[in-house]
Structure 1
Amino acid sequence: MFKPNKVWTTDITYIRTKEGWLYLCVMLDLFSRRIVGWQTSTRIDRQLVCDAFNYALARQGYPKNLMVHSDQGSQYCSRDFRAQLLTNNCIQSMSRRGNCWDNAVTESFFHTLKGHVVNDSVFSTRKEANSVLFDYIEIYYNRIRRHSANGWLSPEAFEQNYLKSLEGSNLHNSV
């Protein structure tokens, strides 16, 4: 059975602004499809990936034995990112070269994101794009948007139901 914080997928996409590209890296929990961490940057480098990973780890309480799945991009192959995985007892998993389907859940998130808020628009500033990304990820996607994989619950509602079921089984076992 799947549990939260056992397998995360990650990838990077880009958002066009009048100031130049804004790169977005997300960490997505396969259990609930919740974005557990994300970061933006003007550079598509290893620091972007490391920052998103650190944010997700801190936010999720530094889970152990976590598998992190990505493509074979240079950011994910970097010494810095691999060292962070090792330091935090995480397992690295990578797609086969040139096979985007191995990371389909994260690709699907990016497709949804771009369809809902990016479309063909160009944001005036990176700050504006960041604000829209925050609202979409933290308010709409994680809390409201329903997923067929979650029985049509939002990622947060799906996780809350899971936690309630654990509490219920613990109460039942203690009686």
Structure 2
Amino acid sequence: MARLMREAGLKARVDRVYRRQKKSRTFFKGLVNRRLEQEKASKINQQWAADVTYIKVGNRWGYLAVVIDVYSKKVLSWALSDRLDSNLTMFTIVKALASRKPKRGLLFHTDRGREYCADRVRHLLAEHGVEQSMNRPGKCTDNAEVESFFKSLKGELIKDAPIANLSHLREKLRKYIQYFYNRTRLHSSIGYMSPIAFEKQCT
């Protein structure tokens, strides 16, 4: 691939992931990393991962929250808002649960952000029999699947692309996630298949 790109004069476009700095790391007591206690995901709806990233929109920030199936790398749900709070993360969790209807015992992994530590989020997950897991302090690589998605998204869609407003960004995200990332983009970790094609093969 590298040789073909060089011969065609093509260059990969990447961007760094903007990580928010938490003002208080002890605002909520984080949970332990349950992923370290389990084997690697071996089927869909066994482990999900979620996170929120910042995207610059003019002079403001937009906040993108996603839920990803760790095994298939499919983005199960996403939401964009101009506010970072538990309403944003709750929406993505409820949407993912409604579309996938996982069995009890699903592992749900996130960072230690307060929007995932909120009582209402914990209660929602508990009601559906979902086991909550969080990164170890300072270990963002514990949530590598979502970090990898954000890096791809910002390098392939956001970098150097003018974004007029949240509505414009939302439409760009919809096309990228639903029609490119989930359906077309090939992932080396799942045998160079798209997430949807990989899930069809699994079922």
Please indicate, yes or no, whether the TM-score normalized by the shorter chain is above 0.5. yes
> Any gaps of 5 or more consecutive residues in structure 2?
1-40
- The equivalent of 2:101 in structure 1 is 61
> Helix, strand or coil: the match of 1:11?
strand
- The equivalent of 2:27 in structure 1 is none
Taking the aligned partners of 2:81 and 2:100, their CA distance within structure 1 comes to: 22
Identify which of 65, 84, 93 aligns with 2:124. 84
> Helix, strand or coil: the match of 1:83?
helix
Taking the aligned partners of 1:64 and 1:139, their CA distance within structure 2 comes to: 30
Residues 144-174 of structure 1 deviation map (CA, whole Å, 9 limit, x = unaligned)? 00101110000000000011xxxxxxxxxxx
- The equivalent of 1:97 in structure 2 is 137
- The equivalent of 1:27 in structure 2 is 67
1:139, CA displacement in angstroms? 0.5
Residues 50-86 of structure 1 deviation map (CA, whole Å, 9 limit, x = unaligned)? 1110011111124422110001011111001101111
> Helix, strand or coil: the match of 1:124?
coil
1:19, CA displacement in angstroms? 6.5
1:3, CA displacement in angstroms? 1.2
> Helix, strand or coil: the match of 1:22?
strand
Amino acid at match of 1:127: S
**Percent identity between the two aligned chains:** 37
Identify which of 34, 49, 54 aligns with 1:14. 54
Instruction: Give yes or no for contact 1:76–1:82 (8 Å, CA) kept in 2.
Output: yes
Instruction: Give yes or no for contact 2:74–2:182 (8 Å, CA) kept in 1.
Output: yes
Does 1:74 pair with 2:99?
Answer: no
Taking the aligned partners of 1:61 and 1:96, their CA distance within structure 2 comes to: 28
Residues 77-104 of structure 1 deviation map (CA, whole Å, 9 limit, x = unaligned)? 1001101111111000100111111001
- The equivalent of 2:28 in structure 1 is none
Taking the aligned partners of 2:159 and 2:134, their CA distance within structure 1 comes to: 29
Identify which of 166, 189, 192 aligns with 1:152. 192
Taking the aligned partners of 2:120 and 2:196, their CA distance within structure 1 comes to: 31
- The equivalent of 2:92 in structure 1 is 52
Bigger Cα displacement from structure 2, 25-34 vs 62-71? 62-71
Instruction: Give yes or no for contact 2:86–2:118 (8 Å, CA) kept in 1.
Output: yes
Does 1:129 pair with 2:174?
Answer: no
Identify which of 141, 144, 147 aligns with 2:181. 141
Taking the aligned partners of 1:55 and 1:11, their CA distance within structure 2 comes to: 15
> Helix, strand or coil: the match of 1:68?
strand
Amino acid at match of 1:20: R
Query: CA RMSD of the aligned region, Å?
Result: 1.2
TM-score normalised to the size of structure 2?
0.77
Does 1:115 pair with 2:155?
Answer: yes
Greater helix share, 1 or 2? Answer: 1
Instruction: Give yes or no for contact 1:34–1:155 (8 Å, CA) kept in 2.
Output: yes
- The equivalent of 1:168 in structure 2 is none
Amino acid at match of 1:8: W
> Helix, strand or coil: the match of 1:28?
strand
Question: Post-superposition, which runs of at least 4 consecutive aligned residues in structure 1 deviate over 4 A?
Answer: none
